[in-house]
Structure 1
Amino acid sequence: MSARVEPGTPGRSLDQGPPEPALLRLEHGLFRFSYNEPRSAALLLVATVLALIWANLPGGTYQAFWHTELGLSLGDVEFSMDLKHWVNDGLMAFFFFAVGLEVKRELAIGELTDRSRAVVPVLAAMAGLALPAVIFLIMNASGPGAGAWGVVVSTDTAFVLGVLALVGPRRAARLRLFILALAITDDIGALLIIAFFYTESINLAALFAALVGFGLILGLRRLRVARGAGYFVVGIATWVAMYLSGVHPTLAGVVIALLLPVFPPKRQAVERAAQLARAFRQSPNAKYERAARVGLTTAVSVNERLQIAFHPPNALVIIPLFALANAGVTLRPEMLAAAYGSWLTWGIVAGLVVGKLVGIAGAGAIITRLRPRALPPGLTLPQLVGGAALSGIGFTISLFIVDLALTDPVLQDQARVGVFTASLIAAGLGALIFFAIRGQTRDLGPPLELLRPVDPERDHIRGRVDAPYTLIEYGDFECPFCSRATGSIREVREFFGDDLRYVFRHLPIEHDHPRAFQAALASEAAAEQGKFWELHDLLFANSDALEPEQLRGYAEQLELDLEAYDEALRTRAHAARVTDDLIDAETSELTGTPAFYIGEERLIGPYDAARLIWELAESREAPPGAVEAPPEPDPEPAGRADTAAESEKSEEKPAGS
């Protein structure tokens, strides 16, 4: 088998074909960089520092540059703004468009469709929106700065995730998902606030033209237009109409994004795309190339394609450029003295730092008190408190609202100083909280207790649900060690009979076993039809033959409803279930497969049948005298080539070993 090489990675095996073009390698490199959260946050920080340095250079070139007029004219019609407003009102429309796409996806087919997953982050985000505004208004109930209460409501997701990656827990997958879900709700609230509270006057004729533009977007959607060009042309015209209407034009991007369709790939479209691609491969020509490209385009929703297309320019160009245009504050001693003596500055600091922390953490604590299992396994209340502290980093949208809420340059500078100060304090406070949490568990090693208790409604259980002995395996259908362990497990089940319940959970190690995740999805599709264990056994018996056609052959062999099976795999209907197991395993620091738990305690070392039987018989879960414990196995069990020491080493090998 040839080595798996990521696109753009130096060194290619001979059977991988010709090297990628340089432009494609550059595109892949930029794409990977844009999705690296610490690097994206660092780029934003660099742009902010450059803005501050530039603004404090003698000569006033910073202000002069960003207030340079740039316009378009056609006959008597002229459209002109300064460079700063081209960034804030023009380029930021693409940023808010991407936010709208993400909101639409999460509401339609993402995390926020599952009420059990969404309840804590949504309610925490609502508290984290309301309390900061209340604190700010208590400190600025009247006066010219009172309208800036919207500055404190939003969290900068890019900065928060970047800082979390640097200072957060080693295994922070659950916390990261919580912050992402919270950020989606936070973004919805911020967008509504901009729409309803920062619009001064309305030009009804222009607003009607914008509504016509939105209607045209809906028309394109009904006509099933899949290419982005048509939406782009109508979107630009709608943005111009929204700008002339008096409503902030960036909201045009949000509304258009919410109107675009999002759906999982449809089987017929995927099969059609595959046929067109096959035809092009057999007879490469321009006609077949265009047909294959159109087929691939229509197989995926325009929402998901545009999310992929807009993420790199947003992360690498638009957001850093926004910071460069808006973060420039002249840090004169008299200005800083005025800022730190201003209720406006301290209202923003208190709102972001105290309001976000108390609002989000307080709501999370109340919910978990009322519903003890409201937090997913692996996410603890102390971690949530650390995430709440980091949520006080309000940068991009906070600076954006500063420009909308305040017209006095002096007040704007004071507000920006408040945003910078709050963001620094929030980052430091979050880092201290995570350091304290880490200090409590620094020398305890990896967790040994089972993270998620066995749930008969959720877990795949072989044997009596109420059996006194429990053996849990985290496994990977493509892992050769897992397939060999099935023989050991069979002996264990024969020994204990009805007194053992065996639980299987997923731990697909994709970087070593590229077909493992798809095999896990196939097993869940079979479980939907009541045949999980039958396919489980087939997959382990054929762990080296897990291509999609072979998986479908096993489903056919088990006489599954193939249409329902295909639909489940096409829509990835069970991806969240498999990912949940995977995140649980990562949080528990399971570094390889198979990994076993005896009852609720992790097994370290060999996992041959004799060892498993002895550990189960000695487990604290077992009622006294239920099964007579066999003699403790030798360090070198019969029929096993590796020693106990070697087995313990295998626990420490890279994942998938």
Structure 2
Amino acid sequence: MIKPAILTNFEKFINKEALSGILLFVATVLAVIVANSSLGQDYYDLWHLPLGVNLGEMSVSMTLTYWIDDGLMALFFLMVGLEIKREMLVGELSTVNKATFPIIAAVGGMIIPALIYVSLNPSNPLGFGIPMATDIAFALGILMLLGNKVNPALKVFLVALAVVDDLGAIFVVATVYTNEIHSEYFVHVILIMALLFSLNKLKVTALTPYLLLGIALWIYVHAIGIHATIAGVLLAFTIPIKAKIDQKKFVKKTKKDIHKFEENMEEDFPVLNDEQIHNLDHIAHNYEKVQNPLVRLEHGLHGLSAFFIMPLFAFSNAGVIIDFSTVSANLMIVLGVVLGLILGKPIGIVGLTYLATKLKLVEKPDDISWTEIIAVGFIAGIGFTMSIFITHLAFIDEGIIAAVKLGVFVASFIAAVIGVFLLLTIKKV
């Protein structure tokens, strides 16, 4: 079972009430409406506006959309990475068997969709990565909309599965769809990671040096030529979880300072004296020292992610042009993507985890039913933005891209509806 404190923290991360999920949904619908209106070209031009930053001899230049996808979403992945690390250290993923379960699920959820696509398109297999992806932002948004109707343990499972899934998709992007890898920057990434882990080992709990090095890490991960959001996950695993002082010591020191504060009180004198100010400063100093750096950063990213990054991400990426004329000309490609997302995801996730549990290779969490896992399998079929991103890498022909994007949109919607229906109506088994 999830510990109450861990559960409380996780709920704060994943469920900023229904409002954040509603914002995500509204942003998606609004993007589709605008993209198919007379403002469609302006919408397209806005997100494809080129923006660049020069740092010495290095230049980072991307469209506005990619600054959102690679930049702001790196912060979202940082938050997710922090949650995963916390769960692996003190939560539901802290044992080998329990941690392995979502990894096996993610692997199944990538392999089966890819096989379905390739079986339908043996002469054009390059699009196999499109149905492999799970859009973590939209998948979590669905669960946020459902609020307390969803088993909290299921949210932990989905987060772990989706992150592993996304990292798998990123690996595919880096190895299959990346035309040019600048391997010379790997040295820079390794050195920065070494510095980050050194800070951790030296018990540095101030977040500023980690975040500054994190910016450098993002720059060089992007310079390598792979998806820069992985920098957020890498940074998360270097953030320390232990506080400088434990809770008992904090209580002891605070009681002492409060006692001294009370001793220095002056009747009929409303202004604090120097001793009292010193006592308050000492309490504030210990307040910082007792906080877990990982949890502090995670809480700091909650509102930014839920109410700004995710809705902006949805609005900038969800503008799918509704035009079915290109679908018939590329039917097998679209069918491979659609079936891969709607059927491949749940079959792969449920099938491989069920087989692994029967072979006693992994242990299914006691507080998650197979019915809920089936539901998550369908929700993981929400490929959406990551699938669309891979579509642009896999194909050049605009007709194919338009057809596949529409297929991804339809498949993601159907997968979400089925997943939500299962969560709300089927009893646990």
What's the TM-score, normalizing by structure 2?
0.79
The corresponding residue for 1:652 is none
The corresponding residue for 1:388 is 377
1:135 and 2:124 equivalent? Answer: no
1:182 and 2:154 equivalent? Answer: no
Post-superposition offset of 1:87: 0.9
Q: Cα distance 1:399–1:33, how it changes in 2: closer, same or farther (>3 A)?
A: same
Contact between 2:14 and 2:144, CA under 8 Å: does it hold in 1?
no
1:313 and 2:267 equivalent? Answer: no
Post-superposition offset of 1:332: 3.5
Distance 2:108 2:56 in 1: 52
Contact between 1:40 and 1:158, CA under 8 Å: does it hold in 2?
no
* 1:506-655 correspondence runs (5 A): none
1:241 and 2:220 equivalent? Answer: yes
1:401 and 2:401 equivalent? Answer: no
The corresponding residue for 1:273 is 250
Which of 317, 320, 324 does residue 329 from structure 1 map onto?
320
Distance 1:242 1:177 in 2: 27
Post-superposition offset of 1:289: 4.8
Q: Cα distance 1:185–1:51, how it changes in 2: closer, same or farther (>3 A)?
A: same
1:112 and 2:101 equivalent? Answer: no
Post-superposition offset of 1:172: 3.6
Distance 1:140 1:419 in 2: 16
What's the TM-score, normalizing by structure 1?
0.54
Distance 1:37 1:152 in 2: 30
Post-superposition offset of 1:147: 3.3
Contact between 2:203 and 2:240, CA under 8 Å: does it hold in 1?
no
Instruction: Give the stretch that moved more between structures: 192-201 or 419-428.
Output: 192-201
Distance 2:65 2:144 in 1: 31
* 1:82-161 correspondence runs (5 A): 82-143=63-124, 146-160=125-139
SS at 2:246 equivalent: helix
Distance 1:196 1:108 in 2: 30
The corresponding residue for 2:237 is 258
Distance 2:27 2:304 in 1: 15
* 1:60-71 correspondence runs (5 A): 60-71=41-52
Which of 10, 18, 23 does residue 43 from structure 1 map onto?
23
Structure ranking higher in helix proportion:
2
1:415 and 2:392 equivalent? Answer: no
Equivalent residues, number? 404
Which of 196, 199, 209 does residue 217 from structure 1 map onto?
196
Instruction: Give the stretch that moved more between structures: 241-250 or 40-49.
Output: 241-250
Cα deviation code 1:173-215 (max 9, x no counterpart):
5544544443454344344434444443233443333333223
Contact between 1:356 and 1:388, CA under 8 Å: does it hold in 2?
yes
Higher RCO, 1 vs 2 (CA within 8 Å, ≥6 residues apart): 2
Distance 2:337 2:277 in 1: 58
Contact between 1:136 and 1:347, CA under 8 Å: does it hold in 2?
yes
Higher Cα radius of gyration: 1
Q: What is the one-letter code of the residue matched to 2:35? A: A
Post-superposition offset of 1:255: 1.7
Post-superposition offset of 1:303: 2.2
Distance 1:419 1:272 in 2: 54
Q: Cα distance 1:62–1:233, how it changes in 2: closer, same or farther (>3 A)?
A: same
Q: Cα distance 1:229–1:175, how it changes in 2: closer, same or farther (>3 A)?
A: closer
The corresponding residue for 1:543 is none
Contact between 1:41 and 1:158, CA under 8 Å: does it hold in 2?
no
Q: Cα distance 1:249–1:117, how it changes in 2: closer, same or farther (>3 A)?
A: closer
Post-superposition offset of 1:319: 1.8
Cα deviation code 1:277-317 (max 9, x no counterpart):
44664547665555444433333432222222222212221
Post-superposition offset of 1:157: 4.4
The corresponding residue for 1:208 is 187
SS at 1:111 equivalent: coil
Instruction: Give the stretch that moved more between structures: 78-87 or 175-184.
Output: 175-184
Post-superposition offset of 1:61: 0.3
Distance 1:119 1:213 in 2: 28
Distance 1:250 1:235 in 2: 11
Percentage of pairs with the same residue: 35
Q: Cα distance 1:220–1:68, how it changes in 2: closer, same or farther (>3 A)?
A: same
Post-superposition offset of 1:131: 0.9
* 1:436-455 correspondence runs (5 A): 437=426
Q: Cα distance 1:49–1:240, how it changes in 2: closer, same or farther (>3 A)?
A: same
Q: What is the one-letter code of the residue matched to 1:321? A: L
Cα deviation code 1:130-149 (max 9, x no counterpart):
11121122223343xx4332
Distance 1:427 1:351 in 2: 14
Q: What is the one-letter code of the residue matched to 2:85? A: K
The corresponding residue for 1:556 is none
Contact between 1:37 and 1:161, CA under 8 Å: does it hold in 2?
no
Contact between 1:121 and 1:182, CA under 8 Å: does it hold in 2?
yes
Which of 230, 237, 245 does residue 209 from structure 2 map onto?
230
SS at 2:61 equivalent: strand
Distance 1:286 1:410 in 2: 69
Q: What is the one-letter code of the residue matched to 1:57? A: S
SS at 1:112 equivalent: coil
Contact between 1:97 and 1:253, CA under 8 Å: does it hold in 2?
yes
- Name stretches of at least 5 consecutive residues in structure 1 with no aligned partner: 1-30, 442-450, 452-657
Query: CA RMSD for the aligned pairs?
Result: 3.6
Contact between 1:221 and 1:261, CA under 8 Å: does it hold in 2?
yes
Distance 2:358 2:57 in 1: 65
Cα deviation code 1:443-485 (max 9, x no counterpart):
xxxxxxxx9xxxxxxxxxxxxxxxxxxxxxxxxxxxxxxxxxx
Distance 1:78 1:185 in 2: 30
Runs of 4+ with deviation above 6 angstroms: 31-34, 74-77, 165-169
Q: What is the one-letter code of the residue matched to 1:35? A: N
Contact between 1:226 and 1:297, CA under 8 Å: does it hold in 2?
no
Post-superposition offset of 1:396: 4.4
Contact between 1:101 and 1:257, CA under 8 Å: does it hold in 2?
yes
Post-superposition offset of 1:62: 0.8
- Name stretches of at least 5 consecutive residues in structure 2 with no aligned partner: 1-10, 262-271
Distance 1:88 1:225 in 2: 30
Distance 1:409 1:274 in 2: 64
SS at 2:134 equivalent: coil
